[in-house]
Structure 1
Amino acid sequence: MTNLDLFIVDAFTDTPFGGNPAGVVLLDSPRDDAWMQSVAAELRHSETAFVGPADGEGVRPLRWFTPVAEVDLCGHATLATAHALGVDSVFQTRSGRLTCSIRDGGWIEMDFPADPAELVEPSPDILDGVGDASVVAVGRGVSDVLVQVSSADEVRALQPDLAALARVPVRGVIVTAAADGSPDIVSRCFYPNVGVPEDPVTGSAHCTLASWWAPRLGQAELYAEQASPRGGSLRITLRNDRVTLAGQAVTVVHGTLTG
C-alpha cells in the first residue's frame, strides 16, 4: 500500500471555498484507469487530476477524471495541479502538451488550444434546456455546445432543464452573454452527461468562449466571470489557435491518500 500526496485546491479564486474545487493526486508511478476512476468517484469533485513524475525533459503526464468518466481537457484541475506543484510545469495530456507558468500575485497562466465553435441551428433539447432565456446564436465546438443568450442577467437567472441538456450529444452546454463593463463576458456551464450538473468554473470552456467572444467584442483579452453559485473569474487571451487562461488558486486540504 502506497501513501500519495493529495491536495484539494479551489481554482479560479483567491478565496477559500470559492471557485471550482479539484482533487490533485501526485503519483509516484503509473496507476490503472479503474483505480483513478475509483479515487475520483470517492472525492466527488467535478474533476480530479492525476499527475506523474517528470520525464527527462521535465514533462509530466496528466489525466483528469470526473466521478464517472475520464475527460480530454480540464482547465481548473490543471490550474490546481500547477498550484499544488508550485513551479512552472509542462504536462502531456490527451489534448496535447499544456504549459503552466507561475506569475506574480499567485496568478498562473495556462497555454491551451483554442476551440472555436461553428454556428449551428439550436436543437429542441437546447431550447428546452435553457428555458425562458432568449437564444441569440448556438455554436458547436470540439467538446461543448455554446449557447449565446441576450443578456448577462439571463445567464445569472437561468434555471436549466438538466434532463433536456443531458440529451444534447456533447460533453456539456455553455450558456453565455456579453456584459457591460467588468466582466466582459459571463457564462455558466452544465455537464450532466459526465456527472457534473453545473460546473462552478470551467477553464476548458473558456477555450471556446475566448474564440467566440474575442472577434465579436473586438478585443483579444477578456475578463470572464462564471456565474455559478460558487462563482469564479479568470483572464483569457486569444492568440491565433491558442488561448491563455490566467487564474488564481487556494489549497484548502493537503493530506495523504492511502490506496
Structure 2
Amino acid sequence: MTRDHGQGHGPEVLRYTAFSADPAGGNPAGVVLDASGLDEERMLAVAAELGYSESAFLTGRTGEGAYTIRYFSPRAEVPFCGHATVATAVALAERDGPGALEFATAAGRVPVTVVREGEELRATLTSVVPHITEIGAADLAEALAALDWAAADLDPALPPRIAYAGARHLVLAAATRERLADLAYDFARLETLMLRLDLTTLQLVWREAPEVFHVRDPFPVGGVVEDPATGAAAAAFGAYVRERGLVPERAAAAAFGAYVRERGLVPETAVLTLHQGADMGRPGTLTVELRTGDDRVRVSGTGTRIG
C-alpha cells in the first residue's frame, strides 16, 4: 500500500485496474476508500505519487451504498473519471459484496451496479445526461496539427464533435487502423488547445464493425501521454454514436420490436464494444449500452486488484 506524505500514517491507497480482469491490462487507478481526512493538496499528492492517469477518493458517505467521490490526475482534479469509478466500485464490492452504489461526483450523481460473473466482478456505471457540440474549424485544424494528422486521415462518416457525459472529449475518427496505431503528438501544443477548450481527453476512434471500435485517448492535461482505458470518454462516445444515428436496429423482428417498445415491455439496448490499450500493451474492453428512452449512457467492465 501507499502512505501519503507528511502527517501521521496517511491513507491506505489501493491499486486496481479497470476494464480488464488481468492486472496487467486495462487502466490502473489508485483508490482511497476513506479520504475523509484529506484535503485537496494531499489528494493531489497521492495521485501524483502513484502516477496513474487518475485516482479516486471517497470523501464521505451519504447513505447506504452512497458516497461522495473526487478524482485527481497527477496534475489536477477532474470532474468525472469512468475507470476510477469502476475501480472504486469493484474495491467496495470486494469489501462489502456486489450490489448497487451511487457516487456523488462534481459532474452529478452516477449510479453503479456491481455483479459477480464467475470469478470476476463487473461494474456498470450510468452517466449523467450527455450532450454533443460542434468544434470550430480553426480549433479542429489546431487539433489535427498537434496530432500531425491530415484532414484526409479522418473518417468522413464520423465527423469531429465534442462529446460530454461528465467530462468533455473531442471525438476524432481515423480512417484506418494504421492511422490510429501511429500516435506521436506534440504534447505541449495539444495540452494548450485542450485547456482552452476544457477537454479532458481526445477520443480517437477507428470503426472495425458497426458496433466495434478501437479507441485511444491522449491525456496531456492530466500529465499523461495516453490513457489506457477511458470510461468517461466511452460514455461520451456512446452519446456521440446515438446523436449521429450510427446505432443499428437490433430487434430480430422490426414490427414486434416496435410493439415491444410502444408497450414499454422491454427496453431495447444497443451494445457497443470498445477496445482500448492494445497499442500500449495494456489491452482492455469497455462495453457501452444505449437504451431506448434513456438519454444516459451505461459503461461496464471488469476490474481487479493489482499487486
> TM-score when scaled to structure 2?
0.76
3-state SS, counterpart of residue 124 of structure 1: helix
Give the gaps of 5 or more residues in structure 2: 1-7, 250-269
8 A contact 1:114–1:207 mirrored in 2: no
- Distance 1:103-1:119 versus aligned 2 partners, 3 A rule: same
Letter in 2 for 1:241: D
| Structure 1 Cα separation of the partners of residues 18 and 234 of structure 2 | 14
Alignment of 1:146-157 (within 5 A): 146-157=171-182
1:192-217 CA distances to partner (integer Å, 9 max, x unpaired)?
Answer: 12212111111000112111224224
Residue 138 (structure 1) aligned with residue 192 (structure 2): no
2-side partners of 1:25 and 1:58: how far apart?
16
| Structure 1 residue 141 displacement after superposition | 2.6
Structure 1 position 104 matched with structure 2 position 111: no
- The answer to whether the Cα contact below 8 Å between 1:114 and 1:208 also exists between their aligned partners in 2 is no
Q: CA deviation at 1:247?
A: 0.2
1:6-25 matches, cutoff 5 A? 6-25=13-32
Q: SS of 1:41's equivalent? A: helix
Q: Deviations over 1:176-232 (max 9, x none)?
A: 121137x71111101112212111111000112111224224262111111441231
Q: Using the TM superposition, give the Cα deviation of residue 114 of structure 1 relative to its aligned residue in structure 2, in angstroms.
A: 4.6
Assess, with a 3 A threshold, how the Cα gap between structure 1 residues 223 and 102 changes in structure 2: closer, same or farther: same
* Cα contact 1:116–1:207 (8 A) shared by 2: no
- Structure 1: 5+ residue runs without aligned partners? 254-259
Q: How does 1:176-187 map to 2 (within 5 A)?
A: 176-180=205-209, 184-187=212-215
Residue 57 of structure 1: how far off its partner (Å): 4.6
Percent identity over the alignment?
30
**Contact map agreement 1:186 1:226 (CA 8 A) in 2:** yes
Q: 2:233 aligns with which of 198, 201, 205?
A: 205
Q: CA 1:56/1:120 → structure 2, altered by over 3 Å: closer, same or farther? A: closer
**2:145 aligned with 1:128, yes or no?**
yes
Question: What CA distance in whole angstroms lies between the structure 1 residues aligned with 2:59 and 2:142?
Answer: 40
Deviation at 1:55, TM superposition (A): 2.5
Q: How does 1:51-66 map to 2 (within 5 A)?
A: 51-66=58-73
Which residue of 105, 126, 144 maps to 1:93?
105
Q: CA deviation at 1:131?
A: 2.1
Q: List aligned pairs for 1:184-195, cutoff 5 A.
A: 184-195=212-223
Structure with the bigger percentage of helix: 2
The 8 Å contact of residues 201 and 233 in structure 2, kept in 1 or not, is answered as no
Deviations 1:154-184 (A, max 9, x none): 2123333333322322222111121137x71
Which residue in the other structure is 2:262 paired with? none
Which one has the largest radius of gyration?
2
User: Is residue 2:284 matched to residue 1:242?
Assistant: no
Which structure carries more relative contact order (alpha carbon 8 Å, separation 6+)? Answer: 1
Distance 1:56 1:158, change over 3 A: closer
C-alpha separation in 1, matches of 2:35 and 2:274: 36
Please, which moves more after superposition, 159-168 or 61-70? 159-168
Distance (whole Å) between structure 2 residues aligned to residue 197 and residue 28 of structure 1: 27
Residue 161 of structure 1: which of 153, 175, 186 is its match?
186
Quote the offset at 1:127 in angstroms: 1.3
Q: How many residues align?
A: 252
3-state secondary structure, aligned to 1:107: strand
Matched, 1:226 2:266: no
- Which TM-score applies when normalising by structure 1? 0.89
Instruction: Indicate yes or no: 2:84 matched with 1:77.
Output: yes
Find the aligned partners of 2:229 and 2:63 in 1 and give their Cα distance: 33
Higher strand proportion (structure 1 or 2): 1
SS of the aligned residue for 2:272 comes to strand
Q: Identify the match of residue 305 of structure 2 among 231, 251, 254.
A: 251
For 1:131 and 1:197, locate their aligned partners in 2 and report how far apart those are by CA, in whole Å. 15
Question: Within 2, Cα distance between the matches of 1:161 and 1:28?
Answer: 36
1:8 CA displacement: 0.3
Q: CA deviation at 1:148?
A: 1.6
Quick one: structure 1 residues 131 and 85, their matched pair in 2 at CA, closer, same or farther if it must change by over 3 Å? same
Measure, in 1, the Cα distance between the counterparts of 2:128 and 2:20. Answer: 22
